[in-house]
Amino acid sequence: MANVSTITYRIKEHARRLGFDSVGIARAGELTAEARALEAWLAQGRHGTMHYMERNFDKRIDPTKLVEGARSVISLSYNYYTEKKQTDPSAPQIAMYALGQDYHDIVRARLNELMQYIREIAGDVQGRSFVDSAPVLERAWAQRAGVGWVGKNTNLLTKRQGSYFFLAECIIDLELEYDSPVKDYCGTCTRCIDACPTEAIYEPYRVDGSKCISYFTIELKESMIPEAYSGKFANWMYGCDICQQVCPINSQATPHHTPEFTPSEELLTMTTAEWKALTEERYKKLFKHSAVKRSKYLGLMRNISFLK
């Protein structure tokens, strides 16, 4: 079998061949500082009704509880940036990541290929791969692995890509060469904090999830959105990109090369009137393979009706 250095290099090269833009590796172990921060965040109720954040706390802070004998966390980024936009600027908006097909399916397929390759070159490796589908503090691991730094809006940022990418992980019981964290380049910039219409970024590097537009339009399952936020959604009906749109780092973003993430012309050209008159039948057709299905038809229509 090849040595650790060679295996690490080959894993990273194959990940890039599969379409991942950045690859970094960190030693598996308990995230002690992050555990304290998460505990305080939960105690303050910043997670709103996202009660799943309270579950599996031990697994969330320690990958060895997810994969027995885990030694390495491979963190990967996958670009979803597109220059295609919804053509009616006054129409209800969808966050860029959800304009194409569901990223869970697309990225997971590539993760499975990467895991298969690791076993081909390194033998009987035990592990699991995840893309926003398990109690994993993915931004913390990506930061430890040197993929990027966590910005003031709590998104992971990279100098080369900005922040328009999905994060994924392979947690394996194989020793590899480990990367180092990179510098934080946010500096004195506060554009994301200043631009957030619901003041969800309550201080640098801290977001109140229960005030975020993405939370209200995706996670909140109540029949009504609190009236106190009326007029503050800036026309977002599913997710929100404001803190990414204003971030200077995202001037570095380049378009993805994944056909499945290309939004349909039908979706891009829908007018405000068409969105308001959206039928459940058309909803199912538009979002058959989309992450927007998470909101369900009634949830999306609730969001649309809430916009002013």
Active site residues: 132
Q: How far is 116 from 124, CA to CA, in rounded Å?
A: 10
Q: How far is 72 from 171, CA to CA, in rounded Å?
A: 6
> Look-up: residue for tokens 């977001």?
207
- Hey, is 5 helix, strand or coil? helix
Copy the structure tokens of residue 158. Answer: 């990279």
Q: How far is 105 from 47, CA to CA, in rounded Å?
A: 26
Handedness of CA 285, 288, 291, 295 (dihedral sign): positive
Using alpha carbons, select from 124, 107, 137 the residue that is nearest to residue 172: 124
- Are residues 193 and 201 in contact, defined by beta-carbon separation less than 8 angstroms? yes
Q: How far is 97 from 216, CA to CA, in rounded Å?
A: 17
How distant is the alpha carbon of residue 81 from its chain centre?
Answer: 12
Using alpha carbons, select from 97, 38, 43, 48 the residue that is nearest to residue 212: 48
- Hey, is 296 helix, strand or coil? helix
- Are residues 114 and 129 in contact, defined by beta-carbon separation less than 8 angstroms? yes
User: H or E element: which one contains 165?
Assistant: strand 165-172
